[in-house]
Copies of this chain bind each other. A is one copy, B any other.
Amino acid sequence: MIGAQALVGTLTGCGVDVCFSNPGTSEMHVVAALDAVPGVRGVLCLFEGTATGAADGYGRMTGRPAAVLLHLGPGLANGLANLHNARRARTPLLAVVGDHATYHKQFDAPLESDIDAVARSVSAWVGRPARGADVATAAANAVAAAMAPPGGVATLILPADVSWSDGAEPVSALPVPPPGPVPDEVVGSAAAVLRSGEPCVILLGGAGMRRPGLEAASRAAQATGARMLGETFPPRHERGAGLPAIDRLAYPAEIAIAQLGDVRHLILAGARAPVSFFAYPGKPSSLVPDGCQVHQLAGAGDDVCGALAALADLTAPDAKPVPQQPGRPALPDGDLTAESAADVIGALLPEGAIVADEANTSGLWLPEATAGAPAHDWLTLTGGAIGLGLPLAAGAAIASPGRSVLAVEADGSAMYTISALWTHAREGLDITTIIFSNQAYALLGMELDRVGAAGAGGTARSLLELSQPSLDFVALARGMGVPASRADTAAEFAGQLRRAMAEPGPHLIEAIVPALGQRPSRGATGPGL
């Protein structure tokens, strides 16, 4: 068989069964191989950032890589920002990037560019098979590299002639090593710290934000008086009623510093030592308080949940985790604001929902309002590259049939990958997209002041406004085949959300809300962005 067919056959054997695709001429043999070698579902995306963001969502929910199929250097470029987010999420992901035929590259045709250099900026593994016969081994290596703990992006660059060359055969999946075991003495030291009586925080991240990690940490915390905190932007946070509750570190550094308070020991379990998202004049970059010692229990590639379980067994052998009690906000009435919208979402969020959160400033109230909702997954913007939410929701929905997916999305961020809505419709995905329409890059309005950019006048402010003209997301959604409605009051929003989640297939609700700071609020401290 040809290289492209051996690729698809190998991927099938490695458990890669979805390929988010935006192909071009140099990938046509791979496209054709999807018919010749069944087992991989091709999902068409109208922009590469949708493909890569969807593969991120898929990998976060399944723990297995989806493939993306991209067209040469520019295709990789368009998918790169969401590969950056996937890299930060440590999502297993296989990027297949077509390239010119090996003998054609020397001619520097218009689409020629340095794919390898760009790929290396986001990839844990980059490979380029030189012959058709090498494709299958390269593909198996790529999948194994993507899945090797903690997970990452593997980029397989596939020249067109390698793809169409004969003499290739699929190979079997390679073994994937388990997460690194954490030595007993490391667990023992952490236990000693917890027992010291000094103020301790267990900072959870990565796999630590899933049920086993949270429950173990909850046991250790309640027995020793330590506090638990979560990293600001976890890839996948299991939360809601029945799971241990945990606050995430806030995005604004000043609030995160207050959350850490007078902690003397920070025990890292799958999280990194906290740093400010951006630098601000005169403010520290590290958020570790003065005089606080940092202890790494488990790094991202380690067996985070195993280490936490061992720590709990040492410090709290008889303790049970403290579950969040069920509880929902009352359905609000009156004005629709980011705050009342959060209450509506908290009141209606179904059991087993998956929330793809790119609501930014409008999302500040969501964690609190949904804390006691039935158990659900929360996916965040791990790498700060906006334009992830709608693609992420697509991938999560394809990974999790039967679960309701909610994309909570800022208007500005939505526009980067708005064509993801078409894929929602094309695939009939059960995604309800909520656009918080405040007609501004509200975060930047806040940041303009925080960075001390004094003297910002009309020109600067106008570059942060999304009005003139207003974006009509109902029209945009309908233009891509997604039923849509607009909500101006809390009651309208509740009715529309209820209907959207009850009906199969995608929906979009444009929630008209004031921008942060335009109206008094009850004082949010959530992570936001």
Contact = CB atoms under 8 A, between A and B. Distances in A.
A459 B42 contact: yes
A25 B160 CA distance: 41
Contacts of A464: 31
A281 interface: yes
Contacts of A470: 481
B104 A279 contact: yes
A31 B275 CA distance: 25
Contact of A383 (B25, B110, B418, B451): B110
A418 B419 contact: yes
11 contacts: A28-B453, A35-B456, A36-B455, A42-B462, A46-B416, A74-B80, A107-B276, A108-B275, A109-B278, A110-B384, A161-B281
B164 A387 contact: no
A204 to B, nearest CB: 17
A415 B419 contact: yes
How many chain copies? 2
B23 A463 contact: yes
Given A44-B462, A78-B416, A418-B418, A285 B164 contact: no
A469 B459 contact: no
Given A451-B164, A471-B480, A31 B113 contact: no
Nearest to A38: B459
A84 B73 contact: yes
Interface stretch (A116-124, A221-229, A237-245, A511-519): A116-124
Interface in A244-294: 272, 275-279, 281, 285-286
A109 B47 CA distance: 27
A245 to B, nearest CB: 24
Contacts of A474: 479
Interface in A471-496: 471-476, 478-481
A21 B444 CA distance: 13
Interface of A: 21, 23-26, 28-29, 31-32, 34-36, 42, 44, 46-47, 49, 73-75, 77-78, 80-81, 84, 88, 100-101, 103-104, 107-111, 113-114, 117-118, 120-122, 160-161, 164, 233, 272, 275-279, 281, 285-286, 382-385, 387, 412, 415-416, 418-419, 422, 425-426, 443-444, 447-448, 450-460, 462-466, 468-476, 478-481
Contacts of A481: 469-472
B451 A110 contact: no
Given A104-B279, A118-B118, A25 B451 contact: yes
A450 B24 CA distance: 12
A60 to B, nearest CB: 16
A42 B478 CA distance: 31
Contacts of A36: 455, 457
Contacts of A108: 272, 275
A215 B188 CA distance: 84
A279 B100 contact: yes
Greatest chain B CB density within 10 A among A443, A471, A480 is at: A480
B422 A469 contact: yes
A118 B80 contact: yes
A382 to B, nearest CB: 7
Contacts of A84: 73-74, 77, 113
Contacts of A34: 459-460, 463
A459 B276 CA distance: 46
A82 B432 CA distance: 32
A35 B460 CA distance: 6
B47 A426 contact: no
A457 B36 CA distance: 8
A163 B136 CA distance: 48
Contacts of A276: 104, 107, 109
A103 B284 CA distance: 10
Contacts of A447: 24-25, 28
A372 B278 CA distance: 56
A117 B113 CA distance: 13
Greatest chain B CB density within 10 A among A25, A478, A481 is at: A25
A451 B28 CA distance: 7
A357 to B, nearest CB: 15
A113 B121 contact: yes
A35 B109 contact: no
Contacts of A454: 32
A31 B457 CA distance: 9
Contact of A44 (B47, B113, B272, B463): B463
A468 to B, nearest CB: 6
B416 A455 contact: no
A429 to B, nearest CB: 13
A149 to B, nearest CB: 19
